[in-house]
Amino acid sequence: MLSVKGTFQNGVVHPNEPIEGHEGQSVIIVFVEENHTPEPATPEDSDWDKLRQLIKNCAVDTDINDLAHQHDHYLYGMPKRES
């Protein structure tokens, strides 16, 4: 992925440097808020807490109590392992 800084003027993006070899290629333009000051992170908003919440939100209740231990059985049809 190539990142290039530029300026948006009158509905047109003007790159700050020459770009060769990408004629006709699709682009995604992201507007950068230069004066934006991020809010300080609180302990409740840590990345680990966000990850834990995402995992919790994506969890699926299968009602299979031994799914982790017997995953080969459920995925590939192999005989169940002894406990």
The tens digit of pLDDT for each residue in 35-68 reads: 767 667 666 668 888 898 899 999 888 888 998 8
C-alpha span between 39 and 14 (Å, rounded): 31
Residue 1 belongs to a domain: no
Residue 56 belongs to a domain: yes
**At which residue do the structure tokens 């000051």 appear?**
37
Cβ pair 2, 11 in contact under 8 A? no
Boundaries of domain holding 69: 6-34+44-76
Residue 82 belongs to a domain: no
pTM: 0.35
Residue 39 belongs to a domain: no
Residue 13 belongs to a domain: yes
Total domains in the fold of the chain: 1
Cβ pair 37, 30 in contact under 8 A? no
Residue 83 belongs to a domain: no
